[in-house]
Amino acid sequence: MMKGNEAIGEAAIRAGCRFYFGYPITPQNELLEYMARKLPEVGGCFLQSESELAGASMLYGAAAAGKRVMTSSSSPGISLMQETVSYLASAELPAVIVNISRGSPGLGRITPAQSDYNQATKGGGHGDYNILVFAPASVQEMMDLTMLAYELSDQYRIPAMILGDGIVGQMMESVVLPEPVETIPEKSWAACGCQGRERNLVISAPFTDEDLIDLNRRLQEKYRVIIEREQRAEMIHTEDAEFIFVAFGIVSRLAHSVVDSLREKGCKVGMIRPQTLWPFPDDAFNRIPRAKGVLVVEMNEGQMLIDVRLALNGRVPVRHYGRGGGWVPSPDSIEAEMLKLMEEVEKNAVSL
Amino acid sequence: MQLVFNKPESLTVNPFTYCPGCSHGIAHRLVGEVIDEMQLREKIVGVSTIGCSVRCWRNFDFDIVQGAHGRGMAVATGLKRALPDQVIFTYQGDGDLAAIGMGETIHAAVRGEAITVVFINNAVFGATGGQLAPTTLPGQWTSTYPKGRDVSWTGSPINMSEILAGLPATTYIAREALTTPKNVLRAKKYMRKAFEAQTLHGGFGLVELLGSCPVNLKLKPVEALNWVEKNMIPQYPLGEFKDTGKEAAS
Residue A349 near chain B (CB below 8 Å): no
Pick from A143-147, A347-351, B193-197: least confident: A347-351
Confidence class for position A348, pLDDT limits 50, 70, 90: confident
β-bridge mates for residue B173, sequence order: B206, B242
Dihedral sign (CA A281, A284, A285, A291)? negative
Region B21-35: mean pLDDT is 97
- pLDDT value of position A52: 98
β-bridge mates for residue A20, sequence order: A46, A70
- Whether B78 sits inside 8 A of A69 (CB atoms) is yes
Using alpha carbons only, how large is chain A's radius of gyration in Å? 21
pLDDT above 90 for B250: no
- Whether B74 sits inside 8 A of A65 (CB atoms) is no
Confidence class for position B249, pLDDT limits 50, 70, 90: low
Confidence class for position A351, pLDDT limits 50, 70, 90: low
Count of Cβ atoms closer than 10 Å to residue A218 Cβ: 11
Q: Is residue B142 part of a domain?
A: yes
The answer to whether A234 and A275 have CB atoms below 8 angstroms apart is yes
- pLDDT value of position B67: 96
- pLDDT value of position B246: 75
pLDDT above 90 for A349: no
Q: Is residue B17 part of a domain?
A: no
The answer to whether A78 and A195 have CB atoms below 8 angstroms apart is no
The answer to whether A93 and A86 have CB atoms below 8 angstroms apart is no
The answer to whether A14 and A39 have CB atoms below 8 angstroms apart is no
pLDDT tens profile A20-67:
999 999 999 999 999 999 999 999 999 999 999 999 999 999 999 999
Q: Is residue B15 part of a domain?
A: no
The answer to whether A72 and A8 have CB atoms below 8 angstroms apart is yes
Length of chain A: 352
Confidence class for position B245, pLDDT limits 50, 70, 90: confident
Contacts A203 to B, Cβ<8 Å: 48, 57, 64-66
Dihedral sign (CA A130, A136, A141, A146)? positive
Helices (H), B50-179: 72-82, 94, 102-111, 151-154, 160-165
Q: Is residue B35 part of a domain?
A: yes
Instruction: State the best of B17, B75, B102, B111 to mutate against chain A, taking most chain A CBs within 10 Å.
Output: B75
pLDDT above 80 for A352: no
pLDDT tens profile B182-191:
999 999 999 9
Owning domain of residue B155: 24-249
Strands (DSSP E) contained in A138-252 are: 159-165, 172-173, 201-202, 233-236, 243-246
Q: Which SS3 state, helix, strand or coil, does residue B248 take?
A: helix
Buried b / exposed e over B12-24, threshold 16 CB at 10 Å, is eeeeeebeebbbb
Q: Is residue B131 part of a domain?
A: yes
Mean confidence (pLDDT) of chain B:
96
Confidence class for position A174, pLDDT limits 50, 70, 90: very high
pLDDT tens profile A286-335:
999 999 999 999 999 999 999 999 999 999 999 999 999 999 999 999 99
Q: Is residue B82 part of a domain?
A: yes
Amino acid residing at B160: M
Instruction: For each of the domains in chain A, give its residue range(s) and CATH number, in order of start.
Output: 2-229 (3.40.50.970), 233-346 (3.40.50.920)
- Whether B71 sits inside 8 A of A84 (CB atoms) is yes
Amino acid residing at A232: R
pLDDT above 60 for A264: yes
Region B224-247: mean pLDDT is 95
What CATH code is carried by the domain that includes residue B98? 3.40.50.970
**pTM as predicted:** 0.97
Q: Is residue B5 part of a domain?
A: no
Q: How many folded domains does chain B comprise?
A: 1
Q: In angstroms, rounded to a whole number, what is the distance separating the alpha carbons of residues A20 and A35?
A: 7
Count of Cβ atoms closer than 10 Å to residue A185 Cβ: 13
Q: Number of helices (H) and strands (E) in chain B: give both, helices first.
A: 11, 7
Q: Is residue B16 part of a domain?
A: no
What 8-state DSSP symbol labels residue A32? H
Q: Give phi and psi for A243, each to the nearest 5.
A: -125, 130
pLDDT above 70 for B2: yes
| ipTM for the whole complex | 0.97
Residue B71 C-alpha, separation from nearest chain A C-alpha, in angstroms: 6
Region A224-230: mean pLDDT is 98
Contacts A69 to B, Cβ<8 Å: 78
